[in-house]
Amino acid sequence: MAFSRVLIAASWTFACLLSGGGAYAQGVTKTSILIGQSSPFSGSNKELGDDIREGLQAYFKQINDAGGVNGRTIELVALDDANDAKRSGENARILIEQRGVLALVGYASATLSLPALPYVEKARIAFIGPFTGAEPMRAFRRNVYNIRASYADELEKIVDFYTTTGMKKFSVIHYDDAVGKENLAAVETALARRGLKPASIGALKRNQTDLGVAVADVVKAAPDVVIATTLYKTTGDFIKGARTAGSNAQFASTSFVGASALATELGDQGMGVVVAQVVPPYSRASIQVVREYQAAIAKSLGKKDYSFTSLESFIGAKVLVEGIRRAGANPTRESLMKALDGMQNFNVGGYVVDFTPTNHNGSKFVELTAISKSGRFAY
């Protein structure tokens, strides 16, 4: 739908910002507030970026249709980084220095978030809800506000689930970079608590397409469980390759994979794959925020296209907007961060986010799901 595919920013708003914005702070005019995002809207992980943006847009549309925040509409400037870290860093510079946004939201991974941080810290701007639970983004930073649990929390939950059923041979696939190695270390720590260590390890390059050697090396160890910490295209290709090679292993993934995208990627080969989730089930309308999300997505997209990813970004948008409300009649970058720091035990509707001035990791919620025969998720 056009609303979710275009960059929403009026030319007169940019002119106002470039000329100094009158009496208003960065990203704020008399009638609008600009929020910036960079995510992959092209390339192999396009579906992940689209899902994040659609969740943000759905909530912003809901708010704007109700009159905005203190009479101002929320406008999202979304730039494509094509899953490239260099581009994500440059996009942060453009959004902050040229577009003059009030805050950044919805970056798609730690690898894409980290290059943005020098610009974020220089400008003293809030960086809200990065789509990652990686440890480099969990260490306290004044400007970063995490909505979700950590990957270590997710991986502990996965290992605990399988070891209680008697499984002992675990293999791991991860990206061969700093974040991927952090995930591997988290699995190793969880296994070590139980007197175990990985049976085999597959280290993969980002955007690697030939997985044959890695699949063969992992499958050779005959693991009971393969834990994936990679994105949906890599994970899907690996699972299909392993099953073709005759592996009978169980497969489990962190939420980073993009659950709905993985289910689509796997098709009828997805049944039984376990995916950790850091938000409530998007189908459980008995939960207030889920019910609100479903209505907003259907109105924004014109169809009931739900996913865990867009629900997570919807929650992130709701936290951001609440912070803007609390930041006063004329919010600034600094007053927004002070408002977020004071957001203790904020209940978004069945999901609690808890920030303090010294802790910006807002949640430890983790739930395991499994892809069903129909491609949906069972709990």
| Domain coordinates in residue numbering, the chain | 2-149+284-353, 151-277
Find out whether 110 and 85 touch, Cβ atoms under 8 Å. no
The pLDDT score that the predictor gives to residue 24 is 55
Closest CA to 355 of 176, 148, 213, 173: 148
Find out whether 174 and 230 touch, Cβ atoms under 8 Å. yes
The pLDDT score that the predictor gives to residue 363 is 97
Q: Give per-residue pLDDT as tens, 207-227.
A: 788 999 999 999 999 999 999
Q: Give per-residue pLDDT as tens, 154-191.
A: 999 999 999 999 999 999 999 998 889 999 999 999 99
**Residues in the chain, pLDDT under 70:** 1-25
The pLDDT score that the predictor gives to residue 248 is 94
The first and second tokens of residue 330, run together, are 């004329």
The 3-state DSSP class for residue 258 equals: coil
Distances (CA, A) of 7 to 79, 220, 261: 8, 48, 23
Q: Which fold does the domain 2-149+284-353 belong to in CATH?
A: Rossmann fold (3.40.50)
> Residues with Cβ < 8 Å from 129, sequence gap 6 or more?
105, 106, 145, 146, 147, 148, 312, 313, 315, 316, 317, 319, 320
Instruction: Answer whether 2-149+284-353 and 151-277 agree in fold.
Output: yes
The pLDDT score that the predictor gives to residue 374 is 76
For domain 151-277, the CATH architecture is 3-Layer(aba) Sandwich (3.40)
d(CA 183, CA 136): 11
